[in-house]
Amino acid sequence: MKSWFYFLLFLYLIIVSVIVDGDGDGGDGDDEDRPTKGRGGLERNFYRTSCPKAESLIRDITWNRVKNDANLGARLLRIHYHDCFVKGCDGSILLDTAGNEKSEKEARSNLSLLGFEIIDEIKTEVEKECPGVVSCADIVALAARDTVSYPFQKSMWDVFTGRRDGRISLESDANVHLPSPFANFTSLLQLFASKNLDINDLVALSGAHTIGVAHCGSFSRRLYNFTGKGDIDPSLDPIYGEQLKKICPLPINGAITLDMDPQSSLSFDNDYFNMLTKKKGLFISDAALLTDRRSARIVRQLQSPKSFFRAFAISMINMGAIEVLTGTNGEIRKNCRVVNP
């Protein structure tokens, strides 16, 4: 009889621990087993025979440049993200305006994308090595990974390759497909879902805001008369809010920028999640990650550097596979700024 009692108690404890843990991942915050969502037909080292030196050439050029301009990591990472979210990772973000409508990079949401020159420079070198082989979309994906990885002197995530370049780039698409910094959790999750990305991707990728800068206009409405009572957004730390007001006084000057992670805006680390839990996330869209129980739980998990780097690596593979063109779709652009004739 007694052994039955202990057996039932044992069963009960197991069931309770699984329920409390919610997702049954073992509860230690590791997501080792979280699979990537497929690679959209991309593969590892796609250019191994057609242009074997492509990947090392791209890494050498970016590492040389980022040595003298540490901001490049943030710039190229954001270009890759904007590329992937608008019409897939097809290099469309690189195209200059050609027809009647402005191209993606001219959209309001571009908010000063920078770093296009280095893509041109890489493309020129790669074309010398293997003309007409390596896509601009792959160059963006590899260069983003390599610039961010430079301080670590190793690759921080895998980049699968074989993307081909698109021929369409429209401002109107950028306005619809990029999330607004004022978005709430529900609309962020919806937008990510429309890109085949889930809540884990949303939280992990938001961690990119551990590097780089923002303009006052992207968050200043949180600082002044937020609820109509002359107040600061209650989801923002009030002392931090006062500091931000000093940097962004009224009337808002569109040229002023500030570091999103003021402690270490050049270092790719998991500080974003520590800032976030202290109510120091800069955008409404950052703070929104704490308004949902599940995402708030992921935020706490990613306060562990190991968990963050692993989760980010998985989510970058997912993001890099959004609506990619492969095989005979699209083209290999000669010049990243214009479609082939």
Ligand X SMILES: *[C@@H]1O[C@H](CO)[C@@H](O)[C@H](O)[C@H]1NC(C)=O
Which residues belong to the active site? 82
Please identify, among the stretches 16-24, 49-57, 105-113, 261-269, the one whose residues bind ligand X according to the rule CB under 6 A.
105-113
Tell whether residue 107 is a contact of ligand HEM (CB under 6 A): no
Q: Is 107 helix (H, G, I), strand (E, B) or coil?
A: coil
Among 177, 209, 280, 333, binds ligand HEM (CB under 6 A): 209
Tell whether residue 84 is a contact of ligand HEM (CB under 6 A): no
Alpha helices in the chain (DSSP H): 2-21, 54-68, 72-85, 116-129, 136-149, 171-177, 185-193, 199-206, 238-247, 271-277, 284-287, 293-301, 305-320
Degrees, nearest 5: CA angle 64-67-70: 130
Print the binding letters for residues 48-67 with ligand X: x by CB under 6 A, - otherwise: --------------------
Which of positions 214-243 make contact with ligand HEM (CB under 6 A)? Answer: 214-215, 218
Tell whether residue 309 is a contact of ligand HEM (CB under 6 A): no
Tell whether residue 105 is a contact of ligand X (CB under 6 A): yes
Choose among ligand X, ligand HEM, none what residue 230 binds, the Cβ cut-off being 5 to 8 Å by kind: ligand X
**Which residues are CB-contacts of 333 (< 8 A; sequence separation ≥ 6)?**
91, 135, 136, 165, 339, 340
Any binding-site annotation on 292? no
Any binding-site annotation on 86? yes
Angle of the 185-193 helix axis to the 199-206 helix axis, nearest 10: 110
First to last CA, the chain: 84
Tell whether residue 184 is a contact of ligand X (CB under 6 A): yes
Nearer to ligand X, 68 or 227 (CB): 227
Q: How far is the CB of 328 from ligand X (least distance, A)?
A: 30
Any binding-site annotation on 104? yes
Provide the total of helices (H) and of strands (E) in the chain, helices listed first. Answer: 13, 4
Which of positions 9-68 make contact with ligand HEM (CB under 6 A)? Answer: none
Q: How far is the CB of 216 from ligand X (least distance, A)?
A: 16
Instruction: Using DSSP bridges, classify how beta strands 213-215 and 160-161 pair: parallel, antiparallel or unpaired.
Output: unpaired
Q: Which residues bind ligand X (CB under 6 A)?
A: 105-106, 110, 113, 184, 186-187, 225, 228, 230
